[in-house]
Structure 1
């Protein structure tokens, strides 16, 4: 039921928040734009002043998510870490923290099927967050013995895949999956095994 006399100070943001709530409850394809309007307390017609369809609304939620994600990664990477390795590990922990604290944004970003190229703003935000991880990997890769050094892009892609896998399987309460170890420990030890294989961490470290 619409709220009589209700006026949004920021209808666009209210719709994004409604979208995030519905994503958490029903998944990214389980609701309609009309439901998002109802959740925000406005008529469906009002939604079309800001979004042409549900995918555009989800794309905006994803854009906001990438902005938050990029800020968290940047802070983890730059916040006085004593070494390239510490900065690299901090970005992995930030990845887990983001997935837990912003589940609706995470789903909009990675599980909605919305391309990061849908809008220029979304593409820019996504690229910025990836650049933080690339930068961390590039700096750390310089410490790898040349004969074992993969291209920096491959290096960060490997660790991104590991981080994303831990998040998907064990950090978000996926039904039917359970780990005997905390996700942070899984990520840290997994990265450790990988980095030892590349000669970045001594075997007895």
Structure 2
């Protein structure tokens, strides 16, 4: 592919797309800026007009991912209102759907080692995504007496940790980690156990 120097129509986004492909193929630390430039069809020097280094490029991929993630979570949450339980469960399913459909973004967001506070824009996008799940958790836990009610941030963190575990172990075809059940069923049953423990849904008869 011929080098296009600085005359690329949207070089910044082309580099992000190149990085996403490389992240999926090699992991967040398995590629160089030169490789991203080559895949985008520009010279390595052109990269530095937009990014100071690989971590800045990955951070931008993560920022874009969080925006998409938040939009998907918000859509799932809104779709099942006014049922707090259905809306909460929908956000969990949206988490798995995002990880499957956008693995490069997901890795940049959660597995790259890049702090969400690296830039104000990244922090803002990440906070919006977390806020949607926290709001769903808060809505669902309103019937728990205040003295027994877990903070919404803790409630949502537990569910995110459970979701991430299912993604890592079973939803991304990890070698040697075939799931005995569909990942969606694993997450749903895990959330069910958690909610029963809080008294938010009736125990199985």
TM-score bracket for this pair, using the shorter chain length:
over 0.9
Quote how far apart the aligned CAs of 1:82 are. Answer: 4.3
Alignment-derived partner of residue 12 in structure 2: 12
SS of the residue 2:70 aligns to: helix
Instruction: Please state how far the C-alpha of 1:23 moved relative to its aligned partner.
Output: 0.6
> Counterparts of 1:183-194 in structure 2 under 5 Å?
183-194=183-194
Deviates more, 1:140-149 or 1:20-29: 140-149
1:175 aligns with 2:180: no
Give the structure 2 partner of residue 98 of structure 1: 98
Compared CA separation, residues 122 and 4, structure 1 to 2 (3 A): closer
How far off is 1:153 after superposition? 2.0
Task: Find the aligned partners of 1:65 and 1:4 in 2 and give their Cα distance.
Answer: 27
Map of 1:154 onto structure 2: 154
Shift of residue 57 of structure 1?
0.4
Alignment of 1:8-157 (within 5 A): 8-146=8-146, 148-157=148-157
What is the DSSP-based 3-state SS (H/G/I as helix, E as strand, rest coil) of the residue aligned with 2:114? Answer: coil
- Helix, strand or coil at the partner of 1:2: coil
| Residues 197, 3 of structure 1: alpha-carbon distance in 2 compared, 3 angstrom cutoff | same
Give unpaired runs (5+ residues) of structure 2: none
Task: Check conservation: 2:64, 2:105, Cα contact below 8 A.
Answer: yes
SS at match of 1:77: helix
**Cα–Cα, structure 1 residues 153 and 5, in superposed 2: closer, same or farther, change >3 Å?**
closer
Cα drift, residue 145 of structure 1: 4.7
Aligned residues: 205
Cα-to-partner distance string for 1:62-85 (whole Å, 9 max, x where unaligned)? 000000000000000012434100
Query: Over aligned residues, Cα RMSD in angstroms?
Result: 1.7
Q: Please state how far the C-alpha of 1:121 moved relative to its aligned partner.
A: 0.6
